[in-house]
Structure 1
Amino acid sequence: MKVIGIDLGTSNSCVAVYKINQIEIIDNDQGERVTPSWVSFTDDERLIGNVAKLEVSSNFERTLFQIKRLIGRTYDDPMVQADMKLWGFTLINEENKPKISIEHKGRRKILAPEEISAMILESLKTSVEDRLDETITDAVITVPAYFNNTQRNATIDAARIAGLNVLRVINEPTAAAIAYGLEKETNEEQNVLVFDLGGGTFDVTIVKIKNKEFDVKATGGDTHLGGDDFDNCMVNHFVSEFNRKNDCDMSPNKRGINRLRIACENAKKNLSVKKNATVQVDGLHSGIDFKSSITRAKFEDLNRDYFENTLKTVKDTLSSADMNKSEIDKVVLVGGSTRIPKVRELLQNLFGENKINKTVNPDEAVAYGAAALASNISKDELSELRELKISDVVPLSLGYKQSGGGMVTVVKRNTKIPTKQWNKNSTAKDNQIEARFTIYEGERAAAKDNHFLGKFSVKGIPAALRGVEKFKTCFIVDENGILTVTSRNVSTGKENQITFDKSGKLSEGELRRMLEDANRFKQDDAEWKKRSEQVHKLEDLVYAVKHAVTGEMSFDVSDKDKKEIIKICKKVKTWINDNQNPKVHDSKKKMADLEKICRPIFEKIRDGSEILRIFQK
């Protein structure tokens, strides 16, 4: 059975599979190799991909995008609070979890970010199943290198809702490095820096490549930096311009903001090939048309801080790898935002133009690498990728909270995995009979400023003065990134442990409910498709019958019969217009009504059986 590789992106997603000794990027149902990570709900259907993106102007309250920026985050996260001001859909607070509230088929639905991501994943999964004509159950899914444990778990939960078993989660830049390494397979050792700047996240990873061996040296990044932020800068710029020119405040106009965002995104793309771009939105706010322009220089100035931050991350990652820029052989550009001329200029100034690799497709490289790893771990005996070897690193430091609130780092970021790291500590209070260990990940000095993972206790410690009772604490991270923390009381041998696996963090009840909802959406979509196909079949039949008696090559029927056929055709066409996506049996009944009138007429003329065949299709 095939294992697929999926790049679930903030702006766009892509899926690939290894077959017949090559990796193939799979087209979606619209023939596109990349699928916009957008979901839209209309009154009677759910849309995914580019058709959903086209709904944002007219259906902005139910068109969802940038969901990856919500996944695994809390509602009070400052980044969530900032983003939601620019979204058209409604975000609500449910136990400090951000949820999306939409109206669909006359009912209010509350959806978790995992459910929306699952819809995109399911769409990609279906595309592969349609192409290969087989059921897909297993996948390798990529995540930003700087995704924390909760964000990774939430991604896996999304996959489970979509009916996928995640065999491995791999960092996006590592997957891109695999794509580059397989394309440029050589016996010579190369140090490759992957610069991954997509729609919503940014990663830098340094990988040593030789043959099919990929040794990650260091990684760095920002889970909230990408093309969407560049768009937002332009949106804010033009909102200020519009308000100033028209003495108003259009900020609360979410429909207008979303229409402006699409125009800004198009302008951004144009500025990658032109020095000047036009931003035009008719009836932007209060019926007022808006037209302006932006130069490439102005765009670069608006986003200067973002661009400079990417370069700072590059330098920090080089430092973490204990390397200098001269030791980098190639810089691989991944993600659509690497097409921005200023980004390329900064990298060329740092590394030299000859080191910038432009052969890897920035939109498809991550999915390509994920599919290669999928083939490797699927144990396909025919696969040429069985020799693939990947050595990754811990993206964030791991440790525990000490009594004073500081973070005791046990595993430093960019430590190679698998790894086992020990730490010695002791009781913090007199007569303490229980030791509590609170585990965090992150780089801040105070534990509370880092990301909380979990906690556990070792009980039954002999009462003694502070510092007498000793502990040995061990952090183990396996090759899949699964963390296990164990602490043992030296004097008694009593111990306890906690494992942070990748099984997901949704409760079984939440997961069951989301799976049921996902299945319901799938059934609704299938039913809608059947109804749509049947009514289109009826409409085609109406036009075929009408043209058979009114067209240039029409049949020779009497004026009375022609009038009767035109009358029934008009009646059925009016019914189609008045009944949006009617039930299948209703469309079939109208088809029978049409045939009842037409069959006797066509049976009595020469070659009439030719038109009657369409009723059997």
Structure 2
Amino acid sequence: MRLDPQRSLRLKPPSPPSPPEEEEYAIGIDLGTTYSRVAVWHKDNVEIIHNDHGNRKTASYVAFTETDENNLVGDAAFNQVVRNTANSIFDTKRLIGRRFSDASVQSDVKLWPFKVIEGPGDKPMIMVTDNGQEKQCSAEDISSMVLEKMRKIAENYLGSTVKNAVITVPAYFTDSQRRATKDAGISAGLNVLRIMNEPSAAAIAYGLNKKAGWSSPRNVMIFDLGGGTLDVSLLTMSKSGDFKVKATAGDTHLGGQDFDNRLVNYCVEEFKREHKLDVSGNKRALRRIKNECEKAKKRLSFESDIGVEIDCLCENTDFTITFTRAIFEQVNMDLFIKCMDPVAKCLRDASMDVSSIDDVVLAGGSTRIPIVQQLLQEFFKGKELCKGVNPDEAVAYGAAVQAAALTGNGKGEFIQDYTLKDVAPLALVMGIADKKIMKLIPRNSLIPVKKNLDLCTPTDDQVFMNFPIYESESSIPANLNFLGECSIRDIPPAPKHVHKYTVFFEIDPDGILSVFAVDKSTGQEKEIIINRDKPKNPQGILRTKR
């Protein structure tokens, strides 16, 4: 959507100013696992907007109360989490767009203090008590409340209604996760201009501020480790502002929350060993431990040890422990080493080696952890890591720049003289006969991208055709992620091979798939129905029916 240029943001207003029209701002929202941020291009600059608590970040929390109709969102929800544990919802970024049966969801539900059940179509649903009534919420519902909070934070600051937004997601988010995030944005009253990959947003924050000093194109790796996800993207950047993603890799279930949970488990075992008391089933005690572990983790990035004291943790027994950086690294070392896997994968996919990388840029709060920096520096054979951008705010910054560029609100060379070309993180494949698959769109293809395929009815009097589609990192059937089963229906009875269709598969700039077909005999578009419920027959066979 391009806004009327007469209503776009004037970066250099005339003097003296005439009575201003209400400007149509476009914001960038970094929807994080733990914290979210909102930014806007305003007065010739990007501004990270403070919330109503005076903070530049807002907790991605929603709390329901048993006696009040008003839900709490953001910092207010986080501040009461200890006394309202079961009704305080967080981590929904790890739930959105996933199936309840997914291994990662089954792992997380054992750790969360709130209840998650299986809903229709294998969709995870969160159980809450709201104003005395038990109800179910989806991850999209919770994310929508957080996004609405971020919109209102921006509106309070700008003194204007805000509709247009760019929302960021991990580069390795699947089609269903992207689609669910976009739906959450629409429910929050936003016109979602773009679902943008987080490392690409961080790349804009880095590149636009650095490119003036470049004499030749540079290969830049963005290492983005946040509260719940890890993304690694490799881009080529030029002085003229051409940003092209060459490859991306990541893990949508690896981040600061996992490091916190390891510390929590360590504390539970220490408390049991010292006091013969088991708090593993005490949600309130676990929440108190988790809050202190998160604080300790952050301080251990700058200090060698930190003491933790929790009064009356259980049965009037206090808990005291001293964390050293060595203990923190020991309990999490396998996870830290795991963070390097996507780095190697990204380089392989781009057919580059470490000597080809000019800059390694850190984004995400968890990149402040010294052992993460050490392992990354060792991987790149001692190369200095780029710390010139604020790792917490780079993603929101880049999203705000993209929002301004998409709406024409940003004037001047800084905003307009750049192009961003992103990629599809996963391959798109189709199931065909004999349990085989056909690759339609390779991984790391530039988006938007379209692929067409000709199909015909293989049997006489066939009235519909079904074909399953999947996302995949590899061609191994067990690793396929089912997207949906496409159906061409209401085919008039005829001998085999008479009816022929061209099926188009298109991945848009948001990384979201659409499928449609054209009847080759009439040239008319034929509706394709996509059933996203997981099939009982997951191998991927082209099935026909008379």
TM interval, shorter chain, is 0.7 to 0.9
Question: Is 1:168 aligned to 2:168, yes or no?
Answer: no
Alignment partner, residue 397 of structure 1: 427
Alignment partner, residue 455 of structure 1: 486
State the secondary structure of the residue aligned to 1:102: strand
Alignment partner, residue 42 of structure 2: 19
Contact 1:143 1:169 in 2 (8 A): yes
Structure 1 residues 406 and 64: alpha-carbon distance in aligned structure 2, compared to 1, 3 A threshold: same
Contact 1:179 1:369 in 2 (8 A): yes
State the secondary structure of the residue aligned to 2:126: strand
Question: Is 1:323 aligned to 2:352, yes or no?
Answer: yes
Residues 502-549 of structure 1: CA deviation (Å, up to 9, x unaligned): xx99xxxxxxxxxxxxxxxxxxxxxxxxxxxxxxxxxxxxxxxxxxxx
Q: CA shift at 1:427, angstroms? A: 6.5
Alignment partner, residue 207 of structure 1: 235
Look up the equivalent residue of 1:97 and give its one-letter code.
K
Of 78, 81, 90, the residue aligned with 1:53 is 78
Structure 1 range deviating more: 232-241 or 22-31: 232-241
Unaligned runs of 5+ in 1: 506-617
Residues 352-399 of structure 1: CA deviation (Å, up to 9, x unaligned): 454410010011100100010101010237354133311111111112
Q: CA shift at 1:134, angstroms? A: 0.6
Structure 1 residues 293 and 426: alpha-carbon distance in aligned structure 2, compared to 1, 3 A threshold: farther
Look up the equivalent residue of 1:59 and give its one-letter code.
N
Alignment partner, residue 365 of structure 2: 336
Alignment partner, residue 26 of structure 2: 3
Cα distance in 2 between the residues matched to 1:18 and 1:491: 51
Alignment of 1:166-565 (within 5 A): 166-186=192-212, 187=214, 188-210=216-238, 211-380=240-409, 382-384=411-413, 385-423=415-453, 434-444=464-474, 445-446=476-477, 449-457=480-488, 459-460=491-492, 462-464=494-496, 473-486=503-516, 496=526, 498=528
Look up the equivalent residue of 2:435 and give its one-letter code.
G
Alignment partner, residue 526 of structure 1: none
Structure 1 residues 454 and 137: alpha-carbon distance in aligned structure 2, compared to 1, 3 A threshold: farther
Q: TM-score, normalised by structure 2?
A: 0.85
State the secondary structure of the residue aligned to 1:185: helix
Question: Is 1:75 aligned to 2:100, yes or no?
Answer: yes
Alignment partner, residue 156 of structure 2: 130
Cα distance in 1 between the residues matched to 2:524 and 2:131: 57
Of 155, 179, 193, the residue aligned with 1:153 is 179
Residues 194-217 of structure 1: CA deviation (Å, up to 9, x unaligned): 101000111001111113221111
Structure 1 residues 490 and 378: alpha-carbon distance in aligned structure 2, compared to 1, 3 A threshold: closer
Cα distance in 2 between the residues matched to 1:291 and 1:330: 42
State the secondary structure of the residue aligned to 1:356: coil
Look up the equivalent residue of 2:192 and give its one-letter code.
V
Alignment partner, residue 539 of structure 2: none
Cα distance in 2 between the residues matched to 1:437 and 1:461: 19
Q: CA shift at 1:430, angstroms? A: 8.1
- Report the number of matched residues: 500
Contact 1:17 1:25 in 2 (8 A): yes
Structure 1 residues 329 and 497: alpha-carbon distance in aligned structure 2, compared to 1, 3 A threshold: farther
Cα distance in 1 between the residues matched to 2:64 and 2:464: 52
Q: CA shift at 1:33, angstroms? A: 0.9
Of 43, 53, 68, the residue aligned with 1:30 is 53
Cα distance in 2 between the residues matched to 1:147 and 1:481: 9
Cα distance in 2 between the residues matched to 1:201 and 1:381: 30
Residues 146-182 of structure 1: CA deviation (Å, up to 9, x unaligned): 1111111111121122111101111000000011011
Contact 1:483 1:499 in 2 (8 A): no
Q: CA shift at 1:428, angstroms? A: 6.6
CA-based RMSD: 2.7
Q: TM-score, normalised by structure 1?
A: 0.75
Q: CA shift at 1:241, angstroms? A: 2.5
State the secondary structure of the residue aligned to 1:414: coil
Q: CA shift at 1:422, angstroms? A: 4.5
Residues 451-510 of structure 1: CA deviation (Å, up to 9, x unaligned): 323412263585449xx998765433343434343556878989746499xxx99xxxxx
Cα distance in 1 between the residues matched to 2:85 and 2:390: 31
Contact 2:29 2:37 in 1 (8 A): yes
Residues 548-568 of structure 1: CA deviation (Å, up to 9, x unaligned): xxxxxxxxxxxxxxxxxxxxx
Alignment partner, residue 66 of structure 1: 91
Structure 1 range deviating more: 91-100 or 27-36: 91-100
Look up the equivalent residue of 1:19 and give its one-letter code.
H
The share of aligned pairs that are identical, in percent, is 44
Look up the equivalent residue of 2:85 and give its one-letter code.
F
Cα distance in 1 between the residues matched to 2:49 and 2:146: 14
Look up the equivalent residue of 1:41 and give its one-letter code.
F
Look up the equivalent residue of 1:440 and give its one-letter code.
Y
Q: CA shift at 1:264, angstroms? A: 1.2
Structure 1 residues 421 and 157: alpha-carbon distance in aligned structure 2, compared to 1, 3 A threshold: closer
Contact 1:221 1:313 in 2 (8 A): yes
Structure 1 residues 129 and 412: alpha-carbon distance in aligned structure 2, compared to 1, 3 A threshold: same
Unaligned runs of 5+ in 2: 1-23, 534-546
Residues 294-327 of structure 1: CA deviation (Å, up to 9, x unaligned): 3222222222221122111100011111111111
Look up the equivalent residue of 2:84 and give its one-letter code.
N
Structure with the bigger RCO (C-alpha within 8 Å, sep 6+) is: 2
State the secondary structure of the residue aligned to 1:348: helix
Cα distance in 1 between the residues matched to 2:499 and 2:374: 58
Contact 1:440 1:447 in 2 (8 A): no
Structure 1 residues 189 and 231: alpha-carbon distance in aligned structure 2, compared to 1, 3 A threshold: same
Look up the equivalent residue of 1:185 and give its one-letter code.
K
Cα distance in 1 between the residues matched to 2:370 and 2:494: 65
Look up the equivalent residue of 1:70 and give its one-letter code.
L
Structure 1 residues 76 and 51: alpha-carbon distance in aligned structure 2, compared to 1, 3 A threshold: same
Look up the equivalent residue of 1:93 and give its one-letter code.
E
State the secondary structure of the residue aligned to 1:479: coil
Contact 1:56 1:259 in 2 (8 A): no
Structure 1 residues 246 and 390: alpha-carbon distance in aligned structure 2, compared to 1, 3 A threshold: same
Cα distance in 1 between the residues matched to 2:450 and 2:53: 48
Cα distance in 2 between the residues matched to 1:159 and 1:418: 21
State the secondary structure of the residue aligned to 1:28: coil
Structure 1 residues 454 and 296: alpha-carbon distance in aligned structure 2, compared to 1, 3 A threshold: same
State the secondary structure of the residue aligned to 1:72: coil
Look up the equivalent residue of 1:379 and give its one-letter code.
G
State the secondary structure of the residue aligned to 2:434: coil
Contact 2:500 2:520 in 1 (8 A): yes
Q: Which entry has the higher C-alpha Rg, 1 or 2?
A: 1
Q: CA shift at 1:245, angstroms? A: 3.3
Alignment partner, residue 530 of structure 1: none
Contact 2:61 2:78 in 1 (8 A): yes
Q: CA shift at 1:425, angstroms? A: 6.5
Structure 1 range deviating more: 439-448 or 333-342: 439-448
Cα distance in 1 between the residues matched to 2:495 and 2:522: 12
Residues 88-129 of structure 1: CA deviation (Å, up to 9, x unaligned): 222233223222222233333432222221222122111111
Look up the equivalent residue of 1:13 and give its one-letter code.
S
Look up the equivalent residue of 1:290 and give its one-letter code.
F
